[in-house]
Chain A
Amino acid sequence: MGEVSTDKKKGYMHGFKDGIPIGLGYIPVSMACGIAAAKAGLSFGMSEIMSILMYTGSGQAAALNLFVGGETAIIMYVITLFVMNCRYMLFSMSIAQKFDKSMGTLQRIGFGLLNTDEVFGMAMKEKGLLGFPYLLGLGTAPYIGFVLGNTIGACFTNLLPAAITSALGIMLPAMFISIIVPSAKESKPVLIVVLIALVLSFVLECIPFIKENLTSGWTIIICAIVTSLIGAIAFPVEEMGESTDDE
């Protein structure tokens, strides 16, 4: 018994340490989210609820974009999140094959709630099977960092000089760049997909009819679906994600 609980503690601590850099990275990003929420006119309570319930920086940025853009249809917010979160289906499928026996239903739910792009990436780097203590530890610091950063951002928006908030504004898109660029550098198809999405996104922005009639949520959805269809037709993928063929 004693040995089992030390093992669990060890696993948790190992995971917690792996999660610290991710958690630190989230603080400025979610600070930017908190600032953006305050700028959009949301109350402190609302921005806290949003950061606690919606554990996604990119999702929050998209939701605030829609809100500022005057989108009033709730279904548009939901569809945007839907499209943006399709990838978790894939993440889940590949990571589930690395789960060990400690991952029962409750543990799967718990890990699912804490999962993010970066947590997924870190977990897939880990060799061998993944246990619940490790995954719970891994997910802890990023979530704390995310909610903490949002709180700091929402609290101090009005205290920060304009020069600082302007400089913080680039953090969120810069985070996306730090996710996109390494993959585009490694894989030519990803690079081409990214370039097509980039051009299409600018083109959609330049067409007056689209700009006047569609909210930014729609242009993101259209751009993502068209680009990914082109990618899937031109460069079919053999194996998804990191290879997990250890059966």
Chain B
Amino acid sequence: MMSSQQFLYAVFGMAAVMVVFKVVPLLFFKKKIKNKFLNSFLAYIPYAVLTSMTFPEIFRSTSSVFSATIGTIVAIAIAYCGQSLIVVILSSSAVVFIVEQIMRMLAN
């Protein structure tokens, strides 16, 4: 486990990376990338990163795998129907809450 101070240094390092990626390209790259392969690679990066961050982590994100699975299915279904970010996260979270309450009642 790293100390708080070490973590603070890590945060500074990460913040610097954010600035480099968010600001520097705006200042210097004013032309389009011509390399098709690099373009394609960079185009898929966000989806690949988000997917590998989401799965299988999402199944451990609540207090039971069962409620998390139902929440995941609801999130995918609602996002598929074209609902906005806020609707997706609130309804998935609400379903997890309800499922866990039902599970608790059944357990008693």
User: Which positions in A face B, CB cutoff 8 Å?
Assistant: 21-22, 24-25, 28-29, 42-43, 46, 49-50, 53-56, 58-59, 61-63, 65, 67, 70-72, 74, 77-78, 80-90, 92-97, 105, 108-109, 111-113, 115, 117-118, 162-164, 166-185, 189-190, 193-194, 197-198, 200-202, 205, 216, 219-220, 223-225, 227-229, 231-232, 235-238, 240-241
Q: A113-B22, A224-B49 are in contact. List 14 more A-B contacts (CB 8 A).
A: A74-B6, A74-B10, A78-B16, A90-B43, A92-B29, A108-B27, A118-B85, A170-B62, A178-B84, A178-B85, A194-B51, A197-B47, A202-B55, A220-B52
B103: shortest Cβ distance to chain A, in Å?
A: 10
B19: shortest Cβ distance to chain A, in Å?
A: 7
Q: For chain B, which range describes its interface: under 10, 10 to 19, 20 to 34, or 35 or more residues?
A: 35 or more
Partner of B29, one of A21, A96, A117, A219: A96
Tell me whether B22 and A181 are in contact (CB under 8 A): no
> Which B residues touch A183, using CB under 8 A?
47
Q: Contacts A167-B100, A171-B92, A240-B32; is A55 near B26 (CB within 8 Å)?
A: no
Tell me whether B43 and A54 are in contact (CB under 8 A): no
Q: Report whether over half of chain A's contact residues are helix, strand or loop; otherwise say mixed.
A: helix
Tell me whether A232 and B37 are in contact (CB under 8 A): yes
User: Which positions in B face A, CB cutoff 8 Å?
Assistant: 1-2, 4, 6-19, 21-27, 29-33, 36-37, 39-58, 61-63, 67-68, 71-72, 75-76, 79-80, 82-86, 88-90, 92-94, 96-97, 100-101, 104
